[in-house]
Amino acid sequence: MIDSQLSLNQCRVYMPKHENRMTDFAEQIRIGLDEALDHDPKLILMGLGVTDPKGVFGTTLGLLQKFGQERVLETPTSENAVTGIGVGLAVTGHKTVMVHQRLDFFLLAMDQLVNSAAKWHYMYGGQQSVPITIRLITGRGWGQGPTHSQNLHSWFTHIPGLKVVMPAFAQEVKELLRLSIEDPNPVLFIEDRWCHVQSAEESDLITPGSIQLGQAEILVPGDSLTVVAAGFAAVESLRAVSFLKERGIDVELINLRTLKPLDTATIFSSVKKTGRILVVDSGAEIASFASEVISQVSRNCFGSLKSAPQMICAPDVPEPTSHGVTEEFKFAAADIAKKITEMMESSIEADWTALNNVPHDAPNSTYMGPF
């Protein structure tokens, strides 16, 4: 479990690295890829931008120089074709990590994922695996607009044969990546680009082997209400929950880590204790992943509920590009905290601006852009 107040500071402010003390989300991905390539000489890393000077938000820097162009492959801008190559490599014995710098662009390769990679293991009676990990960068803000900022993670959870991982914090991302790469079948590894600058102390990193895919984390324990979130929504939820705990509202926060398989046992246990649930989801509301969580809770914990389950999601409209319009479009920690107080029928005197002390379209004031 992460200490809530410590994480609140570390997750919102990009702190300078100190030797042997600080690291960040992007660096942990780079180290995880480095270790995986070093461990398995047949592993291939490929994708548009993996050899670029900025290295996919800094996550692939130096890997070409260390492992060479036969194992770290720059690909053409042809998502469907190169994903097919990645799937082909995987089924012929080469574990593959494929990188798509935008989830939006990966939509061109859905046939390769849904009709090939996801089905192979089943169609061959469990005798054929497809060990491919597909990194998809998602997220909102900074004028990305409607075609570069979509959060479509719920789509992939609907497909049998796929696992969907959605890390939130620097402490967990490398171990979740290692588990994804070692899985014998396809894993969608979805990273919110705002998470790349989240920092952590190296001593707080998760010990290898201590978690598994499909295992959620009780990030902050509490008794009065359950909040469920993943990815950057978990970061914003942590800020809200920490803010309310300081004011006497005791909320439990679950960081899902993995959307599929979904750790319903942890969610149900929490809801049976608190009697209330709020799901925070960066996707649009209709047919959202939040809807699935609430459906599961309603069917399995109905007798424990003290009030109707609630969700906070993105509006059912495309994300605008205009800085002025996006300020009203996005939810943040203050919105989550206000919703919790409404559900608890609590009246607290709070300076909500204390939760809105960063730009609405960036993770913090040091963020220098999406590329």
Please tell me which residue in 79, 191, 217, 252 is annotated as part of the active site.
79
End-to-end CA distance of the chain: 32
Please tell me which residue in 100, 121, 148, 196 is annotated as part of the active site.
148
148 catalytic? Reply is yes
Q: What is the CA radius of gyration of the chain?
A: 20
Catalytic residues: 79, 148
